[in-house]
Amino acid sequence: MKKISDYENKKVLVLGLAKSGLAAAQLLMELGAKITVNDGKAFEGNNEAKILSEQGIQVICGSHPVELFDQEDFELLVKNPGIPYENPMVERAMALGIPVITEVELAYQVSEADIIGVTGTNGKTTTVTMIADILNAAGRTAKLAGNIGFPSSEVASTAKADELLVTELSSFQLMGIRSFRPKIALITNIFSAHLDYHGSQEAYEAAKWEIQKNMTHEDVLILNFNQEKSLALAEKTQARVLAFATGREVDGAYSLDGKLYYKGEVVMAEADLALPGEHNLENALAAIVVAKLLDIGKQAIQETLSHFSGVKHRNQYLGEVAGVKVYNDSKATNILATQKALSGFDNSKLWLLAGGLDRGNSFDELAEYISGLKGMIVFGETAPKLEALADELAIPVIKSENVATALALALSQAESGDSILLSPACASWDQYKTFEERGDLFISAFETAQKGA
């Protein structure tokens, strides 16, 4: 960790705990800051607050008292990414001219390792995992950090100069950077998302674009040239731009005639990719650009991408039961994610498991993607809507109680050579606390079925 003096005796307010707030507070304490922590969750049952309190840090829980700013001359606010800028504490800090950052900025300041920053609407987690797996397979030491579940400031504080931080970055995190500058930055894609937080698509895209704001011609920005907007963005950065695309040659990685290329060199056959789907092809191409920039050979790329089974709950290949392949895409909490998942399958041999929280939307946008399915098993609050759509498209459909019973029903109907895909197109909160809980139940049901086969 770089020994910096920027925070010695500086009064810092850490707003919001969870993993990232805890990591930020502990790093700031190590850097000599005078810290106050404020978290909306009550102290009772707040494990992070108890840990910091035991370490001698002042922790104020249960509310956000703006009068704290009258009692302390704070010089910096480190905000949990999920806390909106409309929060009274954040608004007061900004009104007083107090800088507001997120903990990824702290991570950058102390990291001895170079940072590879990955953002985008979809595919971030899969892509950073692919990149890290390729690098580690080639003998480099790559550590995952950021929005993937490993607080950047915690990982950066122990990373060595010859290591690499492969960091997943959300738009929320990127809004709180000042000097953050990755050596390599990657934007997987940009669609509509998080408008409730950002207020507009323009504000959301501006937050994503922050990833490159401090980059120079010595750094590389990787863009998805399958998206028209990326062509315009390429003209608006100081970084050197490389691209990835499908179906045509670009300056970077691309797929053409069943092969994956990098700058004219064949890297591997598209058919050898372990994960199905156009979106996973894009993720693989993006990972190839990063790998080749770091002089990774084809063997490590081929071995990794041909065996990469996916990130848990993200189009994750679980295995077979009696010749039927089973995939867990519980992370697909909206229609767009399910559309992308379906793109990798032959509908005539696919059973789709879908349903969940009813947010009041229709599923008309899903129609062309599910046309020709062998069958659907539906569950949750949206089961009636999905059943009606299936009936309209003459797709065999069965109602089920939950994801576990849905898998059992699908397996009872499927034939060897078929595939079963859990890709709900809905949030999980009607039946489960999180999409992870939903996916874990599905995995457990698969493991039971596999043992009994």
Q: Which residues pair with 227 in a beta bridge?
A: none
Q: How far apart are CA 182 and CA 180, in angstroms?
A: 7
Q: How far apart are CA 268 and CA 255, in angstroms?
A: 10
Residue whose C-alpha is closest to residue 165's, from 207, 108, 81, 222: 108
102 is in an annotated binding site: no
Which alpha helices (DSSP H) does 101-256 contain, by range? 103-110, 124-137, 152-156, 171-174, 195-198, 201-209, 228-233
Where does residue 440 rank: exposed (0-12), middle (13-18), buried (19+ CB within 10 A)? middle
Q: How far apart are CA 392 and CA 169, in angstroms?
A: 41
Residue whose C-alpha is closest to residue 157's, from 222, 216, 104, 111: 111
Q: What is the dihedral of CA 149, 151, 152, 154, to 10 degrees?
A: -140
123 is in an annotated binding site: yes
The two most distant CA atoms of the chain are separated, in Å, by 69
Exposure on the CB side of residue 140, measured as CA atoms within 13 A:
24
Residue whose C-alpha is closest to residue 168's, from 149, 181, 153: 149
User: How far from the centroid of its chain's Cα atoms is residue 84's Cα?
Assistant: 19
Q: Which residues are annotated as a binding site?
A: 120-126
Q: Which residues are annotated as a binding site for ATP?
A: 120-126
